[in-house]
């Protein structure tokens, strides 16, 4: 059996590794000539970590991960701590560490584990054709690839999704802009072993440790879509949006490098229930595109990969049946994640100002128990428990 994997992102590479581990040959086709991931870093939560462990990447991932031993929320104006707690109870309950990693390093780890020379870069799929015994991918450069099945891991803007669903879906603007990047750790910004988030005015500023004495930082601001802002104005924009915020936030704005700071208008897609058509299966953001508010998009793509491989490994009723089993095991789980993230997004970003004000109050009383319980529920809902 040979699977054609379209897209060499987190989803496509996890899928290719998982399929090969299950004894299924793969070919990976990636549109860009050189991977330049959008977003500086990503938190791989223990459900994602367990998937990467199952792919044999435990030691590599651990080496790239920051030590997120504590979590804290700070008041936006005074900088005072609203709540601070240890992540140890979460690790004890779910049996793995949350693992924030630089995105380029995670991407490189996955590609190198598969074999960089085996990935066909610069191959943009334009169309997919199915026939009785297999699938053909047609590329922009006029070439084709044949396989028994095709995994569409071509991201949130998937060109293959339409042919699986039979209809076009629109991305939904979530109402806020996210700036993100990496800076050196600095105790005057936040403790190096803590995920620190300043909250107020429906905005947030977050610092999360990754390896190599670096923080992954991000700023969120509720804004209209399509503003004329880019890297050239990033410091002035952030100074304006975060005027009056605490000293560490001002120092962070001073410290960032505009050339490597990303500005992303955050979107998601209303969940849909069809991931498969015949021998073609959607995976990762192509199947379920979420806001990053619970940090689960990439983790869900890793989960998809493992479930896909285990469904295909037990394909006694044929490939099409196995893919439908994959779909049946993933639709509800990923719908839950997308909707949970959307809910969190709205509370965090002041969609209903009263609900956001109530959340700020709750944080003052938070001991960690409720936040960690919510995280554990999300993590333990994954296919590896």
Interface with ligand FAD, residue 7, by CB under 6 A: yes
Q: Which of 32, 355, 357, 358 binds ligand FAD (CB under 6 A)?
A: 32
Binding mask 142-181 for ligand FAD (x = CB under 6 A): -----------xxxx--x------------------x-x-
8 A C-beta contact, residue 8 and residue 119: yes
**Does residue number 298 form part of the binding site for ligand FAD (CB under 6 A)?**
yes
Of 101, 299, 309, 341, the one binding ligand FAD by CB under 6 A: 299
d(C-alpha 71, C-alpha 50), whole Å: 21
Q: In whole angstroms, what is the distance from residue 35 CA to residue 262 CA?
A: 15
In three-state secondary structure terms, 379 is helix
With b for 16 or more beta-carbon neighbours within 10 A and e for fewer, the 221-245 pattern comes to bbbeeeeeeeeeebeebbeebbeeb
Sign, Cα dihedral of 171, 172, 178, 179: positive
DSSP 285: G
Rounded Cα distance, 106 and 211, in Å: 11
Answer for the pair 87, 69: CB distance below 8 angstroms, yes or no: yes
One residue of 3, 4, 6, 51 binding ligand FAD per CB under 6 A: 6
Q: Does 11 bind ligand FAD (CB under 6 A)?
A: yes
Per rule CB under 6 A, is residue 43 in the interface with ligand FAD?
A: yes
Mask 111-130, x = binds ligand FAD (CB under 6 A)? -------------xx-----
Closest CA to 225 of 264, 277, 170: 264
Tell me which residues in 67-106 interact with ligand FAD (CB under 6 A): none
Identify the CA nearest to 126 among candidates 165, 164, 158, 168.
158
Residue 220 CB, nearest approach to ligand FAD (Å): 9
Q: Minimal distance in Å, beta carbon 24 to ligand FAD?
A: 18
C-alpha span between 148 and 8 (Å, rounded): 19
In the bound state with ligand FAD, the residue whose beta carbon lies nearer, of 39 and 46, is 39
- 262-268 and 119-120 beta bridge pairing: unpaired
Among 5, 27, 28, 39, binds ligand FAD (CB under 6 A): 39
Separate counts of helices (H) and strands (E) for the chain: 12, 18
Site for ligand FAD (CB under 6 A): how many residues? 35
Q: Contact region for ligand FAD (CB under 6 A) — 35-43, 224-232, 324-332, 373-381?
A: 35-43
For ligand FAD, which residue of 20, 27, 30, 201 counts as binding (CB under 6 A)? 30
**Residues 278-297 within binding reach of ligand FAD (CB under 6 A):** 284-286, 292, 295-297
Q: Which residues bind ligand FAD (CB under 6 A)?
A: 6-12, 29-32, 39, 42-43, 48, 124-125, 153-156, 159, 178, 180, 264, 284-286, 292, 295-299, 301
């Amino acid at each position: 059996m040979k699977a054609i994997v379209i897209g060499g992102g987190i989803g496509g590479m996890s899928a290719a590794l998982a399929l090969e581990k299950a004894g299924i040959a793969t070919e990976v086709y990636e549109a860009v000539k050189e991977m330049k991931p959008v977003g500086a870093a990503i938190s791989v939560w223990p459900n994602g970590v367990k998937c990467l462990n199952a792919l044999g990447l435990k030691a590599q991932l651990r080496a790239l991960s920051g030590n997120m031993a504590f979590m804290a929320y700070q008041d936006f104006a005074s900088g005072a701590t609203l709540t601070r707690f240890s992540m140890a109870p979460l690790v004890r309950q779910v049996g793995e560490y949350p693992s924030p990693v630089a995105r380029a390093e995670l991407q490189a780890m996955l590609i190198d584990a598969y074999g960089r020379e085996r990935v066909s870069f610069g191959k943009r799929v334009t169309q997919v054709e199915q026939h009785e015994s297999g699938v053909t991918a047609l590329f922009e450069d006029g070439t084709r690839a044949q396989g028994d099945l095709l995994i569409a891991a071509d991201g949130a803007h998937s060109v293959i999704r339409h042919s699986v669903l039979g209809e076009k879906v629109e991305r939904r603007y979530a109402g806020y802009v996210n700036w993100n990047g990496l800076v050196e750790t600095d105790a005057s910004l936040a403790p190096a072993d803590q995920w620190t988030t300043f909250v107020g005015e429906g905005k947030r500023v977050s610092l999360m440790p990754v390896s190599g004495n670096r923080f992954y930082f991000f700023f969120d601001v509720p804004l209209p879509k399509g503003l004329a802002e880019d890297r050239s104005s990033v410091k002035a924009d952030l100074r304006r949006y975060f005027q009056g915020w605490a000293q560490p936030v001002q120092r962070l704005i001073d410290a960032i490098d505009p050339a490597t700071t990303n500005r992303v208008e955050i979107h998601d897609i209303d969940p849909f229930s069809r991931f498969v058509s015949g021998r073609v299966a959607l995976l990762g953001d192509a199947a379920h595109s979420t806001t990053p508010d619970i940090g689960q998009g990439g983790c869900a793509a890793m989960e998809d990969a493992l479930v896909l491989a285990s469904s295909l490994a037990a394909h006694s009723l044929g490939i099409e049946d196995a893919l439908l089993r994959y779909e049946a095991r993933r639709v509800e789980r990923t719908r839950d994640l997308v909707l949970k993230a959307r809910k969190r997004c709205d509370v965090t970003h002041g969609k209903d100002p009263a609900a956001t004000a109530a959340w700020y109050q709750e944080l003052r009383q938070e001991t960690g128990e409720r936040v960690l319980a919510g995280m554990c529920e999300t993590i333990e809902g994954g296919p590896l428990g």
